[in-house]
Structure 1
Amino acid sequence: MTDSSLGCFPVRYFCTAGHGMEQFLVEEVKSKVGAQDVIRLQGKVIFSSCANINSVTSLKSAERLFLLLNHEGPLKLPAHVNQAKASSLLQSKLTGDKEELARAAMLCISLQGAIKDRAINCQVQTEGVKKRDQDEQSHGEASQCKRKRLEHENPDGAPRDQQTERLPSVDPVTFRICCKCSGSVARYFSTQDVSKVLGASLTTLLGWRVDLKNPHLEVNVNLTDDYCLQGIPLTKFPLATRSYVQTTGLRSTVAWAMGSMAQIQPGSLVVDPMCGVGTILIEAAKEHNDTYFLGIDIDDEQLVKARGNIVHAHLEGRMQVLKASSLALPLHSASVDAVVCDLPFGRKFGTKMDAAKNLPLILSEMTRVLRVGGVLVLLLSPQLSCQIKRLITQDDAKSDSVQENDSQTEKQDCQSDGATSTEQPSSPGRKKGPPSTQETEHLYGLRRTSPLSSLRHENTIRVSLGAIDGLMHKFVKLDP
């Protein structure tokens, strides 16, 4: 069980994901790293892959990446079991085979060493090198001279080999345990109890040493009524921490998912009418190289941060921002291929815009600039989500009424046309041929609050934003 760069054997991983992001992660691991044996759990996805570890660490919808140690059914304790028997059953459930644990530990250390392309891991490695250099310097010049003399006397490297052989006994693997218990098992064991049982087993079986501050490995244990899951994190920081984002805004995994829902194609123009610091567009731009992105915002401070993010992400050639109001977008009708937007809601946006009051006009402007067949992706609060459903439902009812009136008008026009010459120019109100560009713009100007009937709802996904939830809506614009 090794990384593809070391032998092309599948490695068993699992990733954590925010609530609602599991389906995006399943699709991503299948398409990007050729995942097999995929198992979807709440907040987690287990999979096997032969892909290079640097490809696996580039997953955009995952929070954290783990090497899987064990995935089994839940711990079932007999009724009225005493504490000693329960601890024994827990130990046998968590420990498993000694040799398998040792191999997994060595594989984990090997994979961690192979992660070279992530800037955040390079920083961790640099800090480790500095610490090692300081430790070596503390030994004094005498020990350094002795080491050089031994290397000169043994050009074949015998002392180095001997040192490698002594490494497990002189410098054993250090570890700590992170545990979560829920459901019925939490009535028998606290997280401290589980950590104590597993820690004692690893120390006894493998000779590992506990280090709570800076261990080689962190063993994560998750015990629920549905499963027992163990793994070792492969990166010190979450995958959701993006090295190419200078000023953070919306959570990067959710921003990436919104771009994924937009079905962006090469050569498209993608617009965020309330871009903030540009997180959604930057995530989409990193995923799609042959696409142009435009961010719009009315807040000067946000635009300054967005421009800083664009420069930091090296996207100056494909992404621009401009100052304008989302209530009157400076774009031609049907000129945009996709619109993505995180509408402001919550306490921190409460004083900047009354999104609920302005939602009809904001939505109408987005629909106006979107081409037929284009995709609209919105992130809304539950309250705004209910409001947008009411708006579209009401507009559909109005559209049906307008179509019925237009049908009657057409019949009257046809009757009057029979008494006039066909060479006589028709009036602007008649339905003879497609309207001109000026007529279309005039029509949208007069009826800005009612192009919503052209939106077809395709999907809604509820995602966690931390303290609150948001709903991602996907719409496609139909031919009005």
Structure 2
Amino acid sequence: MAEDSTSRGLRPHGYSFFCTAGRGMERFVMDELSSKLSADQIECMPGKVFFQGNYDLCSLRKMKSAERIFLLLRKGPPLTEYKGNALFSLRKFVIGDSHLWLDTLQIWKQFQEPSAQRGISHTQEKSLKRKLDDNSSTESKTCKKETIVNEAHLYSEEQAPMEANTQLLPPKPSVRDAEDTGHPLFEHDISEPVAFRVSCRCSGVLTKKMTAQDIGRIIGVALSQQFGWKPDLRRPMLEVFVHLNDMYSVVGFPILRQPLASRDYIQSTGLRATTAWAMASLAEISTAQYVLDPMCGVGTILLEAAMEWPHATFLGIDKSESQLKHALNNVKKAGVMNRVALLQGSVLEFCVLEEFLYYYLAKSFTIT
């Protein structure tokens, strides 16, 4: 079956990305991509939003409604639509063009912060160069397979003969071909393999043929054979994210190690930060001067609003002293003490003049 037009992560007018989003949050992600990043080719699917553009890490961090952001490697139809053996289809789709993996890996490196990047050293690149050129060897070798499956990071280790599986892999690019095309991965000399792990999510019809653990193991072994990469569950340099279901098949590299939803300015968590941001955005407080949250809890909504709209003054009220202590710690950590005030008590006991209150954040309740 013909591959989807967006299956390649490299585009003439920018890179291809996708965001994961919570249930019902896709429209907020799309709005942010349009307003903050002016993204091209925005495509929404349940749980994911695909887009294209040229961005740096700082620009991508502006996204507040997305859970995680990935550099898209491959995107295509569900594997059930491919004809033939399911194992062959899986290997063919995931590995595909070997040079695409190397190109995308180089792009991924550009988004890694120097302080957090374990990096692909020059010695690692030389090892990969030798591995790609080793087409003449027919000896049966054993490789340890370590894969992470689902989001719980289950894994298995077993010995598998390389020769038996190599016949299902696409041809390896030779070093001569790579040097002729000026591939950046071969510009330096190197010796240590890329440390990686596979995070696999699988649902739908495919799970009747293979479990997510089987799929993760197959992909991990294929990558080890094709590129000489080394599985590392504890401290991988690279995470390979694979999601297969009845609607699409996706492979990508997470750009950030921590989810975007994990805000560094929130010490005590309450409502999920992405949901809090969405609630604040629905209040349309972009032109407000005063904003009240009458049941603020640990102040997550107030913080998200204060960080997004710094021109306004925010007031949070809650009856719980312990909740307000957590809220105060969060406000201090975020550095918005001059714009966020907290009061203890019931909102029913306070008299707030409507002429001074532009917007308030609250839930509506129906008595039955």
TM superposition score normalised by structure 2: 0.74
Equivalent pairs: percent with the same residue? 37
The one-letter code sitting in structure 2 at the alignment partner of 1:208 is W
| 2:78 is the counterpart of 1:74 | yes
Residue in 1 that maps onto 2:110? 110
How many matched pairs?
293
Say which of 337, 341, 351 aligns to 2:358.
337
* Local SS of the residue matching 2:226: helix
CA deviation digits over 1:296-322, x for unaligned, max 9? 112222222222222221111111011
Q: C-alpha displacement at 1:64, in angstroms?
A: 1.0
Residue in 1 that maps onto 2:188? 165
Residue in 2 that maps onto 1:22? 26
Residue in 2 that maps onto 1:140? none
Residue in 1 that maps onto 2:269? 248
2: CA distance, partners of 1:298 / 1:192: 47
Q: C-alpha displacement at 1:334, in angstroms?
A: 4.1
**1:315-394 counterparts in 2 under 5 A?**
315-341=336-362, 378=363, 384=365, 387=366
Change (3 A) 1:225 1:314: same
The one-letter code sitting in structure 2 at the alignment partner of 1:177 is V
**1:78-227 counterparts in 2 under 5 A?**
85-113=85-113, 124=116, 165-167=188-190, 170-227=191-248
Change (3 A) 1:312 1:37: same
Contact 1:273 1:329 in 2 (8 A): no
Residue in 1 that maps onto 2:297? 276
Contact 1:91 1:201 in 2 (8 A): yes
Contact 1:34 1:51 in 2 (8 A): no
Say which of 279, 282, 285 aligns to 1:258.
279
Contact 2:288 2:359 in 1 (8 A): no
CA deviation digits over 1:333-377, x for unaligned, max 9? 343111113xxxxxxxxxxxxxxxxxxxxxxxxxxxxxxxxxxxx
Q: C-alpha displacement at 1:272, in angstroms?
A: 0.4
The one-letter code sitting in structure 1 at the alignment partner of 2:335 is H
Contact 1:63 1:253 in 2 (8 A): yes
Change (3 A) 1:86 1:307: closer
Q: C-alpha displacement at 1:165, in angstroms?
A: 2.9
The one-letter code sitting in structure 2 at the alignment partner of 1:286 is M
Structure 1 runs of 4+ aligned residues shifted over 3 Å read: none
Change (3 A) 1:97 1:289: same
Change (3 A) 1:324 1:113: closer
1: CA distance, partners of 2:273 / 2:100: 36
Contact 2:291 2:315 in 1 (8 A): yes
**1:46-85 counterparts in 2 under 5 A?**
46-76=50-80, 85=85
Q: C-alpha displacement at 1:77, in angstroms?
A: 5.8
Change (3 A) 1:192 1:266: same
Change (3 A) 1:190 1:243: same
Q: C-alpha displacement at 1:236, in angstroms?
A: 1.2
Change (3 A) 1:337 1:171: same
2: CA distance, partners of 1:277 / 1:181: 35
Q: C-alpha displacement at 1:220, in angstroms?
A: 0.9
CA deviation digits over 1:259-306, x for unaligned, max 9? 100111345210001111111011000001110101111222222222
The one-letter code sitting in structure 2 at the alignment partner of 1:97 is D
Question: Which 10-residue stretch deviates more, 171-180 or 203-212?
Answer: 203-212
* Local SS of the residue matching 2:197: strand
1: CA distance, partners of 2:332 / 2:60: 26
The one-letter code sitting in structure 2 at the alignment partner of 1:104 is T
The one-letter code sitting in structure 2 at the alignment partner of 1:94 is V
Residue in 1 that maps onto 2:130? none
1: CA distance, partners of 2:46 / 2:224: 32
The one-letter code sitting in structure 2 at the alignment partner of 1:335 is F
Relative to total residues, which structure has the larger helix share, 1 or 2?
A: 1
TM superposition score normalised by structure 1: 0.57
Residue in 1 that maps onto 2:132? none
Contact 1:175 1:216 in 2 (8 A): yes
CA deviation digits over 1:113-135, x for unaligned, max 9? 37xxxxxxx5x46xx69xx9xxx
Change (3 A) 1:109 1:263: same
2: CA distance, partners of 1:247 / 1:192: 34
Say which of 26, 34, 41 aligns to 1:37.
41
1: CA distance, partners of 2:300 / 2:196: 36
1: CA distance, partners of 2:264 / 2:81: 45
CA deviation digits over 1:428-451, x for unaligned, max 9? xxxxxxxxxxxxxxxxxxxxxxxx
